[in-house]
Chain A
Amino acid sequence: MESNIEASVRSAARSVETGYSADVAQEIVDTCVDAGISLVASLPDDWIAHTIASFEQDERVNHVPVNREESALGLCSGAFLAGTGSAALMGASGLMTLVYAITKINYTYEIPIFIMITHRGTFDDGAKFHVSNGLYLEDVIKSISMPYTIINSRDELPMIGEAYHHSRKISRPTVAVLPKKLLQGKV
């Protein structure tokens, strides 16, 4: 069987074929590393397939594919207590499954985590099942008072680092939202 690296190379190539930017994916990785992130737990979304592959292939990062989004939250929460900077990378629908775990673990113990998600539900999202989910995405984030920022262009990628550090400052989760056009390198 091919290795994780080999599988990620294949996934990245497919992602480029479907219109996603290898350069933006690498910029996201570099920004995270510069911020002090060395562990990334991920669940897939088609929009971030190349970003996941870029984390997998980068030797500066311990990339852990996990079985469900809650496991990413658990892993990153534990990593904080070992002094490891981390990020949980997932689709928007993944975040929608996390409310209970966030309020139970991160709010009870005041453990910061940093989450990156796709900005599903926007007008350029062609998947009906994601659009309907995305209708409530920002309202759900706001309902549990999680600070978040939408990265609207490559110029704003440094906001990823700011969002990560903000989570440490306030001992709560923060979220960086990645739009489709950003991940395609169009903005």
Chain B
Amino acid sequence: MKYAEAVAYIASRWTDELVVTSAGTTSELWHAETGETEKVFYLEASMSLSSVFACGIAQGVAEKPVWVFSGDGAFCMNPGMLQVERQMNLPNLKHFMLSNRVYGSTSNVPLPGRVDNDYPAIARGFGIERVYSFGSMNELQATFDEAVLEPGHTFIHLEVEPMDYRGASPPMDGPEVKFRFGRYVERVTGNQVFSAPLDHG
């Protein structure tokens, strides 16, 4: 499966879910596909923490679905992210893990265990009940509704080809990403994120 095609398809199915992207390619591709600057937190400095970051968001906005992207590079650094996800078992969290078997943001340097790593098996081993694995666009498209739109914490493994992509970062500095996203959360959930509220009237 082509990396960019997978991301483009998921973006085409996106409606009003909150989205967290991770370092490098997913942030760049998602912004290129959608141009969105409010309901996406572009966590380019993700440090393998995008999914636990998304857990923090999802636990506070139970009525909103949260989609989070990570890569298998991040997964190799912190596979225990799935233990935290399982512990919290948030029904509104969908975790897309794009597996290209390389560190895609750093010139496709090969991952440790790249041939043998069985990510869906690891997820099941941590007790995650809803695990999907897609190796082709046909599979992704055929099962997307069941995997993504039905409730329940879900880990979705997407086996993709490495790509030579170096897109532009979303054109916002960190604090702007924070404020745009946080103000959006305030607006749609009524939660107070910042100490000083905006007048939405």
**Chain A residues with a Cβ under 8 A of chain B:** 39, 62, 64-68, 70-71, 73-84, 86, 100-101, 104-105, 108-111, 168-169, 171
Contact = CB atoms under 8 A, between A and B. Distances in A.
Interface string B43-70: 1011111101111111111000000000
B47 A81 contact: no
Interface in B105-154: none
A75 B178 contact: no
Interface stretch (B9-17, B96-104, B190-198): B190-198
A74 B45 contact: no
A81 B201 CA distance: 22
Contacts of A80: 56, 193
Given A71-B78, A71-B80, A83-B193, A101 B56 contact: no
Interface in B149-190: 174-175, 177-178, 181-182, 185-186, 189
A83 B175 CA distance: 16
A118 B9 CA distance: 47
Given A67-B80, A109-B177, A110-B178, A84 B60 contact: yes
Nearest to A77: B53
Contacts of A104: 45, 47
Interface residues of B, number: 39
A105 B45 contact: yes
Nearest to A107: B174
Given A64-B84, A65-B87, A110-B175, A81 B57 contact: yes
Contacts of B60: 39, 79, 81-84
B41 interface: yes
A81 B181 contact: yes
A114 to B, nearest CB: 13
A71 B84 contact: yes
By secondary structure, the A interface counts as helix
A47 B192 CA distance: 34
Contact of B81 (A67, A79, A108): A67
B56 A82 contact: yes
Given A83-B185, A83-B193, A78 B57 contact: yes
A110 B60 CA distance: 19
B83 A67 contact: yes
27 contacts: A39-B59, A39-B60, A62-B59, A66-B87, A68-B80, A70-B47, A71-B49, A71-B78, A74-B47, A74-B49, A74-B52, A74-B56, A75-B52, A77-B53, A78-B54, A79-B56, A82-B193, A83-B186, A84-B56, A105-B45, A109-B43, A109-B45, A109-B174, A110-B174, A110-B178, A111-B178, A171-B175
Nearest to A102: B47
B76 interface: no
Contact of A109 (B78, B84, B87, B175): B175
Contacts of A100: 47
Nearest to A85: B60
B79 to A, nearest CB: 9
B78 A68 contact: yes
Contacts of A86: 56
A78 B80 contact: no
Nearest to A74: B49
A83 B191 contact: yes
